[in-house]
Amino acid sequence: MHRQIAGKLTGRVTKWVVLAVWIVVFAVGGVLSGKLNGVLDNQASSWLPASAESTKALDKTAPFQNENDIRTALVYKKESGLTQADLAKIGQFADQVGGFQGTVPMTGPSGQPMKPSETLQVSQDHQVAQVYVTFNFGKDGWNQMPDVRDHIRNVAELPGATLYVTGPGGEAADQASIFGNIDGKLFISAAIVVILILLLTYRSPVLWMLPVISAVVAVLTAQGLIYLLANYAGLTVNGQSSGILLVLVFGAGTDYALLLVARYREELHRHEDRHEAMAFALHRAAPAIIASALTVILGMLCLVIAEMNSTAGLGPVAAIGIGVGLIVMLTLLPALLVIFGRWIFWPRRPRYGDVEPSSGGFWARIGARIAPRPRLVWATTAVVLAICSLGILQLNAHGLATKDSFTQTFESVTGQQVLVDHGLADTSNPVMVLANAGQADEVRAAMKGTRGIGAPAQPIVKGGTALIEAPLLYDPASSQAADTVSAIRAKVHAVPGADALVGGGAAIVADTEKASGRDTRTIIPIVLLVVLLVLMVLLRAVLSPLLLIGTVILSFGAALGLSSLLFRHVFGFAGADQSFPLFVFVFLVALGIDYNIFLMTRVREETPEHGTRRASLIALGATGGVITSAGIVLAGTFAVLGTLPLVAFAEIGIAVALGVLLDTLIVRSVLVTAINLDVGSRIWWPSRLDRGGGQPTPVQAAEQVDALD
């Protein structure tokens, strides 16, 4: 950013204009952001691509059932055994629930009316029974399921037995409870973490307020904009992307704020007029901040090519959030800083003419220790990170069964496990096969005897298409269910002329794993290429970007390896979600490269005057404190995801937080600095930067930096 433009943004008059504009934007964004939860789409089927077989099957079920139908199983368990009187009462309860407002009338295989009590099934040991009903409250009906579950309990409790509301309806009730106030939980937790870290970083009781206020404005503005796109432009937003958006904007936005505030504080030592100091700070810090944000935005936008709609939707959601955060931190935050003046740094107010303390601080001393033997340092560090990467062999990213997906106990999960343990098929979540009506009997015959399903029902025919349902004996999210789906597909696809499609909950999970695997293999190389090109343009070199990409990949491998060991041996997680490696990679590469950008742009700035080796040490000393603080802030905000009762969120939060800390404390400070000192001016190949002779050796560079202290 040109200094004149930067000065105009924070001039004596324009700073008030900028503030007024953001007050208006904040007011509008705050209203719209409150509506975001109302447009979240957490239906698993809506996350899949149109090409998935389960999606095609779902489209063909429209004549048989409404897409907003929510099948709900009522599962009763009684250790002493269910008597005939108990079963009669369960039937009465089921029919009573079937009379609730929003209940869908039931029909039998031949189309005749059917009561919910007629769906009653009892386990062989007579300890468990289930019935099911179907609800339909429209597109956002899943949000009403917690109230429906409470209403069911009020009328359907059986003395001496435990009632579980499970199946898709029970899962919807639990998910609504989890995701209904997810933003509030994450917002409060992230704010507390950021405030505490900023208090320790700035050691000021007031300065932390300005970055936090700016981050809040960025979050609410981004949420408001995304609500408009979701409501009017068809953008897919779910609870996962909404939660990640908040953490990402809060964490990355605060990172940008830390870098700007640190550079502003430097300039306050050099300029008596705070407006002039901010103009210089923006002029020098904005290119690195913009390059950092652009890298994240482009990396996130690579997700739009994903087959998974949920992953593809996360791309623009995250990109919009980072873009809004960037604009806020380069406009609103500078205006607030110059409005409040130097006293906002109290009690450590930067005075004009004082020496910037970072020039002889902790990171300058670390650089001096690296300088005598940089090759030994970077080689040792790389080997250690590579060894940590071996933990990836412990990673099981093939999906999680329902019972393994939560860090807390939920009713729908327990109820599902009760059915599995007592050999009952889940009649609320069957395997659904769609085929041409003329071959319906042949398809049904092919399905018979398949391990993992009960007896296929008689075909229901409408408009030339037949629907054949078979109850599933396994948890729909389990590997056994996926194997069952594969076996059924192999059989029904072989029926000539049937054009059979296999759908249902288990098929959706199986197709999700397949699509997620394809996305991981496709998107990771593209993200690497995009980030590499951004670095080449920014640093005007080839060798340094290649080396930086290598360090980030090594950091990603170490983070994934260490987190895999933690998941299995410390937290006891059964595995990981299929999309886990891709999400962690995108976040770590896009965000982890930030710290290298912050460091290397400062190295390039100092190189013409001091030479590459000395510039590397000066840059480490100058940026070390702020980058460390930024990394801790970002790691802390991602770690907040671990407060949610979802294993997938907790794993992403832990892995990203661990990777960010590795990037901040090890990769950027030790590995990259040691490589810079060892390679020297060749780091800028093929540009002509620092091609002159007389460049100090690593030891001489360290001695020169020591002389500055």
- CATH number of 305's domain: 1.20.1640.10
Q: Distance between CA 697 and CA 371 in Å, rounded?
A: 9
Instruction: Decide: 403 and 416 in contact? Cβ < 8 Å.
Output: yes
Stretch 42-47: mean pLDDT:
61
Stretch 75-93: mean pLDDT:
92
Does residue 453 lie within any of the structural domains? yes
Domain boundary among 305, 326, 354: 354
Asked whether the predicted pLDDT for residue 698 surpasses 60, the reply is no
C-alpha count within 13 angstroms, C-beta hemisphere, residue 573: 29
Which pLDDT belongs to residue 128? 93
> Are 201 and 336 within one domain?
yes
Highest mean pLDDT among 44-53, 258-267, 549-558: 549-558
When pLDDT is cut at 50, 70 and 90, the band that residue 441 belongs to is: very high
> Are 245 and 280 within one domain?
yes
pTM metric for this prediction: 0.80
What is the number of structural domains in the chain?
3
> Are 246 and 292 within one domain?
yes
> Are 311 and 432 within one domain?
no
Instruction: Decide: 471 and 430 in contact? Cβ < 8 Å.
Output: yes
The percent of residues above 90 in pLDDT, for the chain, comes to 25
The range of the structural domain enclosing residue 416 comes to 411-510
Does residue 244 lie within any of the structural domains? yes
Instruction: Decide: 239 and 246 in contact? Cβ < 8 Å.
Output: no
When pLDDT is cut at 50, 70 and 90, the band that residue 356 belongs to is: low
Instruction: Decide: 356 and 363 in contact? Cβ < 8 Å.
Output: no
> Are 228 and 345 within one domain?
yes
Q: Distance between CA 52 and CA 57 in Å, rounded?
A: 9
Q: What is the pLDDT of residues 443-475, one digit of tens each?
A: 999 999 899 888 898 888 888 899 999 988 888
**250 CB contacts (<8 Å, ≥6 apart)?**
187, 190, 191, 194, 215, 218, 219, 637
Of residues 693 and 282, more confidently modeled: 282
Q: Distance between CA 76 and CA 419 in Å, rounded?
A: 10
Q: What is the pLDDT of residues 678-693, one digit of tens each?
A: 998 889 888 877 655 4
Does residue 551 lie within any of the structural domains? no
CATH number of the domain at 429, please: 3.30.70
> Are 138 and 217 within one domain?
no
Q: Distance between CA 157 and CA 533 in Å, rounded?
A: 63
Does residue 203 lie within any of the structural domains? yes
> Are 158 and 193 within one domain?
no
Strand partners, 467: 434, 460
Instruction: Decide: 173 and 72 in contact? Cβ < 8 Å.
Output: no
Q: Please give the backbone phi and psi of residue 434, each rounded to the nearest 5 degrees, phi first.
A: -110, 135
Does residue 381 lie within any of the structural domains? no
C-alpha distances (whole Å) from 170 to each of 145, 173, 415, 450 are 7, 5, 9, 27
**DSSP letter at 671?**
I
Q: What's the alpha-carbon Rg for the chain, to the nearest Å?
A: 29
Does residue 20 lie within any of the structural domains? yes
Domain boundary among 124, 153, 179: 179
> Are 170 and 87 within one domain?
yes
Instruction: Decide: 441 and 498 in contact? Cβ < 8 Å.
Output: no
> Are 320 and 420 within one domain?
no
Strand partners, 76: 129, 163
> Are 232 and 303 within one domain?
yes
When pLDDT is cut at 50, 70 and 90, the band that residue 181 belongs to is: low
Does residue 377 lie within any of the structural domains? no
Does residue 2 lie within any of the structural domains? yes
> Which has the closest alpha carbon to 11: 279, 211, 266?
279
> Are 434 and 470 within one domain?
yes
Stretch 92-102: mean pLDDT:
89
**520 CB contacts (<8 Å, ≥6 apart)?**
579, 581, 582, 585
Asked whether the predicted pLDDT for residue 480 surpasses 60, the reply is yes
Instruction: Decide: 56 and 49 in contact? Cβ < 8 Å.
Output: no
> Are 478 and 451 within one domain?
yes
**129 CB contacts (<8 Å, ≥6 apart)?**
75, 76, 82, 86, 87, 90, 120, 121, 122, 123
Which pLDDT belongs to residue 589? 81
Domain boundary among 510, 534, 555: 510
